[in-house]
């Protein structure tokens, strides 16, 4: 079956360029376009999609707000289109539930690979820059940082221990699952994890599924956030 994609960008030329790249793929279908987040929600309400390629800066409703709505309503997986010139956008997008990030000047093959990867449940975590952003996000972003009761921020020199829900999730993980989570946090693919641990890819896929379930992670991005937040990233 084809991967259904919706393109969201306030520049029609950008949308046309992405549509041209994706339309030549036999297993990818561009099913809709939108010029802002509000229009994207309207398009997705009537046109089911698997992946949404989302710009950030747009009128009416920006990409961050739209991403939060799309994820909350289960309307598709979102890839944020960015130039990495505003790290706060990346932080907010990840907190909103984005499944990954893609540079707007990425090669056509990278765009196609990104759509396939996210549609299959993977996250765009391979670039070291993205991993650094996630590591910083866990420490700095108020939406993902644990705070003590009363809302006061914990001193940097004395961070709080894992929250009760996190502790339960950690205890539920087997030693092998913790290993797999640590390798996910390094940005390794299932194939690379299989080589690292001398396992079959199907076995690794099972471990990854278990990790996502036990850590209540929507996808690999959220699992990596969990790993950094709880100190399991190594």
Identify the helix (H) or strand (E) that includes residue 66: helix 63-73
CB 78 within 8 A of CB 52: yes
CA torsion 65→188→6→33, rounded to 10°?
Answer: 70
Task: Please check the confidence at residue 42 and state whether its pLDDT lies above 60.
Answer: yes
Q: What is the pLDDT of residues 126-140, one digit of tens each?
A: 444 555 556 565 555
Numbered ranges of CATH 1.10.10.10 in the chain: 148-230
Whole-model pTM? Answer: 0.67
Q: Tell me the average pLDDT across 13-20.
A: 93
Q: How far apart are the first and last CA of the chain?
A: 38
Q: What's the pLDDT score for residue 156?
A: 40
Task: Please check the confidence at residue 119 and state whether its pLDDT lies above 90.
Answer: no
Q: What is the pLDDT of residues 170-213, one digit of tens each?
A: 899 999 999 999 988 887 778 889 999 999 989 998 999 999 99
CB 35 within 8 A of CB 13: no
Q: Tell me the average pLDDT across 116-126.
A: 73
Q: Domain 148-230 has what CATH class?
A: mainly alpha
Numbered ranges of CATH 3.40.50.2300 in the chain: 3-124
- Superfamily holding 3-124: Response regulator (3.40.50.2300)
| Separation of alpha carbons 40 and 37, rounded Å | 5
């Amino acid at each position: 079956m084809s991967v259904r994609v919706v393109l969201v960008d306030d520049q029609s030329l950008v949308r046309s360029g992405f549509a041209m790249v994706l339309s030549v793929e036999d297993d990818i279908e561009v099913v809709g376009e939108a010029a802002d987040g509000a229009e994207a929600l309207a398009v997705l309400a009537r046109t089911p999609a698997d992946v949404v390629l989302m710009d950030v800066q747009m009128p009416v409703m920006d990409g961050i707000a739209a991403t939060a709505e799309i994820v909350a309503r289960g309307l598709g997986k979102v890839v944020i289109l960015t130039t990495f010139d505003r790290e706060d956008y990346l932080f907010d997008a990840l907190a909103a539930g984005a499944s990954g990030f893609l540079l707007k000047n990425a090669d056509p093959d990278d765009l196609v690979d990104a759509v396939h990867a996210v549609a299959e449940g993977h996250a765009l975590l391979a670039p070291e820059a993205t991993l650094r952003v996630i590591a910083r996000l866990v420490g700095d972003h108020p939406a993902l940082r644990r705070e003590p009761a009363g809302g006061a921020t914990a001193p940097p020199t004395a961070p709080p221990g894992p929250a009760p829900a996190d502790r339960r999730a950690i205890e539920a993980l087997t030693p092998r699952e913790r290993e797999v989570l640590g390798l996910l946090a390094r940005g390794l693919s299932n194939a690379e994890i299989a080589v690292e641990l001398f396992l079959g890819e199907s076995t690794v896929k099972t471990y990854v599924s278990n990790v996502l379930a036990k850590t209540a992670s929507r996808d690999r991005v959220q699992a990596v956030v969990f790993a950094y937040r709880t100190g399991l990233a190594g």
